[in-house]
Structure 1
Amino acid sequence: MDRGKRPSKSIVGGNNKIYMDLKDIIREYTLPFLPAKSLFRFTGVCRDWKMQISTPFFAHNQSNSFHAVSGLFYQIAGEPPSFISLDPKAYGVPDPSLTFLPVPVDIRASCNGLLCCQARTGDKAYYMCNPATKMWKKLPKPDADHGTDPALVVIFEPSLLNFVADYKLVCAFPSTDFDDGYEFEIYSSAEGCWRISREICLGDRKLLPSPGVHVNGIVYWQMKHGVLVAFDLARERSQLIYGMKGALCVMQGKLCSVSMHGWTVTVNVLSNVYSNTMEMHSKARTWVQKRLINLDPSALGAGSCKQPSVVFADSDTVVIHDGNTIFSYDMKTKETSALGSAVGTRLIAYVNNLVHV
């Protein structure tokens, strides 16, 4: 009889060990790939999970593991910011109005969890913050006058080897010495100061009040009539690129433009920035069509008298502004969802991670 009971005890003990190992695996290798809102909710699972999620090392690991765009901050002029989540159950911030900052602010740019804002009054200082953790830092005053609507781009590439979140801000601002020219000022968090580049970009067009993007060491801003300003950070050289249509975005590590005509979304990829210098009748093109997406008008409501426009896109999602409503199109599932209302706003994409400022 005793011999018959021993195997069952061994099996129970083995099952307990397997269960504990699986729990540890989930804690160590799954949690870092979840968004900040879900992680804050999971701190109530048990004491071990709460301690794990609360450590600076976990925040560093999660900011390197989670890169999905989680939603968009938007703001009507003169009002506090708001947040539209791509999935309200998974993504969110505790204070979308950013009242944890010491002054009222306007949102300017974002990258991989870091949000750049500017004070509305006083010295109009820049603030870097993480809305998920409410951490923030006031930046030194720039040397140049960036104007009333700064063309800022945040550059932050998380690295497992760098525990400190080193980032840069690049601002294109109107030159005071050359009419129709733009200069560039760069802030480095590692150096803690601003520096004006010697480069000056000459052109007869104005920058549009839309977010710029950073791709492979080059920063791009939109100008009127389909022209881009490109600024190479390594060489600190600029050039104008022509023929761009729609909204700037990054897909699979390449600069793309996404436009919408009727209910069709066209994705063009930047192919050759020197096509305008090629010989006549050359087949080289600056922009090459990469993808066409045919949307279902009924899924978008089709109730607006205006042409819908793309306000953001990446490899996973296309966000469309149709009248007063924001819609998202999932590239994988091909499903369209209504996210909420936004009237006359600027939208800034945000990643819901735990990066330390």
Structure 2
Amino acid sequence: MKPCWFENDDIPINILSRLPAKTLHRLKYVSEEWLNLISNRSFITSQLRKTEPVSGFFFQEVFQWTDDESIESISYIPVDVDNVNVWRNVFDFLPEYIVIMSLNNGLLCCRSCFPSSHPRIYVCNPLNKQWTSLQWPNISQTSNVALAFNPFQNPVDVSTRFKLVAVSDIENGEDEYCFVFDIYSSETGLWRRSKECCVCNHNLTKNKGVLVNGILYWLTDGYQILMFDPENEFSLLVTAPLPETEFSGIPEMCIGEWQGEVCYVIISEDGLQLWVLEDHFASQWELRISISLENLEKENSNVLYKISEKVASRLCKDTPAWMDPLSFKDGVLLIRVSANVYLYRFDTRSMKKLCDVSTLGPTSMFYPIVVPYTMSLVPLD
């Protein structure tokens, strides 16, 4: 790479590093000097210290009753524009159709669509369209693979290092199941099975591996959250802040991250609540925000109507929830209300319609894969 004409001048570097990744990606085309600077790993490391806002959400349908066949289409729903248009073909730079697995710090983990004779796992950066791949390991195709990439614990000034954690559900005796963890390191290029296992008779659902402070969390369908620390290799089941017996109807929830804290968003007859995990060993939560359904409707009367009776009317899990929190990141909640998808901001307590559910596909009502996306310049070459 050619030297940059101002690489020894701290002023332009200090100014440019404050800009968002989306703007910097466009500025690379101004000149060769700007390209060299913005592509420099030291500059990228400096720019990563800036908090990036959520730029959108990736949305992918799944077939409700089978894991043997994947839906190829993926939608990108931007949130930082006035007139929202759902984007297609975001991943056309990859050599095949993929299924989203997890995303953090601007990097996405995905896999080949099943069925596939030679399935692969991809780690890519959708902004700069760089990617790397590896063969699918010798684990079940139903395993959930999460990306553990933290540029603050593993700086990208020399290389981009990451780990993958594959969670598999295996039988551990009569009527008992447990989760086991296979770990891949980009430094060694090898998979190995951790000695750690976690007894659990529930399934993973929604939010594909949320990474918070280097620890991975998965929501289960049993009012518990699976936690795994890939560095120290220990796991734990964190009890949800509210037990199932607390509700008369069926609540809907998702997990996410906000300012380095694990968050649990739940919608029930008690309203919209945001809980923050204070101690995962003790399953101790703090109720940070609570908004009654009546106030939620009053504050957003242009889009909500009689939500109390509609939320309370759902008594069977086989029917889609009327209000479903799909994904959460940094105070921004993607939520489906009936046949529409909205963005809810906790700071302003306001809702904005993004699109109709029908634009996302015919099976988009039933437990889609939804991950929040924040852009980054992190290279994979």
Do these two structures clear the TM 0.5 threshold for a shared fold by scoring above it? yes
- 2:296 pairs with 1:311: no
Identical positions, percent: 28
The answer to whether the 8 A contact 1:252-1:315 is kept is yes
Report deviation, 1:176: 5.5
Relative to the length of structure 1, the TM-score reads 0.78
- 2:288 pairs with 1:298: no
Moved more, 131-140 or 38-47: 38-47
Report deviation, 1:346: 1.6
- 2:180 pairs with 1:183: yes
Q: Which residue of 2 aligns with 1:31?
A: 16
Q: Which residue of 2 aligns with 1:3?
A: none
Q: Which residue of 2 aligns with 1:220?
A: 217
Q: Separation in 1 of the partners of 2:172 and 2:129?
A: 40
Q: Choose between structure 1 and 2: higher helix proportion.
A: 1
Instruction: Output aligned runs, 1:147-162, within 5 Å.
Output: 147-148=141-142, 150-159=143-152, 161-162=155-156
Relative to the length of structure 2, the TM-score reads 0.74
The answer to whether the 8 A contact 2:171-2:177 is kept is no
Report deviation, 1:125: 1.0
The answer to whether the 8 A contact 2:266-2:273 is kept is yes
Q: Separation in 2 of the partners of 1:134 and 1:214?
A: 22
How many matched pairs? 324
The answer to whether the 8 A contact 2:25-2:377 is kept is no
Q: Deviations over 1:243-292 (max 9, x none)?
A: 346211122322221112369421112234455xxxxxxxxx73331212
1:256 to 255, 263, 271: 263
Report deviation, 1:154: 1.5
The answer to whether the 8 A contact 1:70-1:91 is kept is no
Q: Deviations over 1:215-248 (max 9, x none)?
A: 2343222222201222233432222222346211
Q: Which residue of 2 aligns with 1:271?
A: 278
- 2:334 pairs with 1:324: no
Cα pair distance change 1:334/1:44, threshold 3 Å = farther
Q: Deviations over 1:285-335 (max 9, x none)?
A: 733312124533324354986531222223332222212322222333444
Q: Deviations over 1:149-184 (max 9, x none)?
A: x32221211148541221111121012555411100
Q: Secondary structure at the match of 1:39?
A: helix
- 2:319 pairs with 1:286: no
Q: Separation in 2 of the partners of 1:191 and 1:94?
A: 36
Report deviation, 1:141: 3.3
Which letter does structure 2 place at the counterpart of 1:107?
I
Q: Which residue of 2 aligns with 1:122?
A: 117
Moved more, 158-167 or 347-356: 158-167
Q: Separation in 1 of the partners of 2:377 and 2:50?
A: 10
Q: Which residue of 1 aligns with 2:198?
A: 201
Cα pair distance change 1:133/1:264, threshold 3 Å = same
Report deviation, 1:39: 2.7
- 2:165 pairs with 1:170: yes
Q: Which residue of 2 aligns with 1:138?
A: 133
The higher radius of gyration belongs to: 1
The answer to whether the 8 A contact 2:148-2:214 is kept is no
The answer to whether the 8 A contact 1:37-1:90 is kept is no
Q: Secondary structure at the match of 2:26?
A: helix
Moved more, 249-258 or 324-333: 324-333
The answer to whether the 8 A contact 2:119-2:135 is kept is no
Cα pair distance change 1:289/1:153, threshold 3 Å = same
Q: Secondary structure at the match of 2:145?
A: strand
- 2:336 pairs with 1:339: no
Which letter does structure 2 place at the counterpart of 1:133?
N
Q: Which residue of 1 aligns with 2:315?
A: none
Q: Secondary structure at the match of 2:376?
A: coil
Q: Secondary structure at the match of 2:222?
A: helix
Cα pair distance change 1:313/1:286, threshold 3 Å = same
Structure 2 residues not aligned, in runs of 5+: 1-5, 63-70, 243-252, 311-320
The answer to whether the 8 A contact 2:13-2:43 is kept is no
Q: Which residue of 1 aligns with 2:316?
A: none
Q: Separation in 1 of the partners of 2:212 and 2:199?
A: 22
Q: Separation in 1 of the partners of 2:85 and 2:35?
A: 19
The answer to whether the 8 A contact 1:37-1:91 is kept is no
Cα pair distance change 1:88/1:58, threshold 3 Å = farther
The answer to whether the 8 A contact 1:93-1:131 is kept is no
Q: Deviations over 1:75-117 (max 9, x none)?
A: 1241321211111379999974311111111111101110111
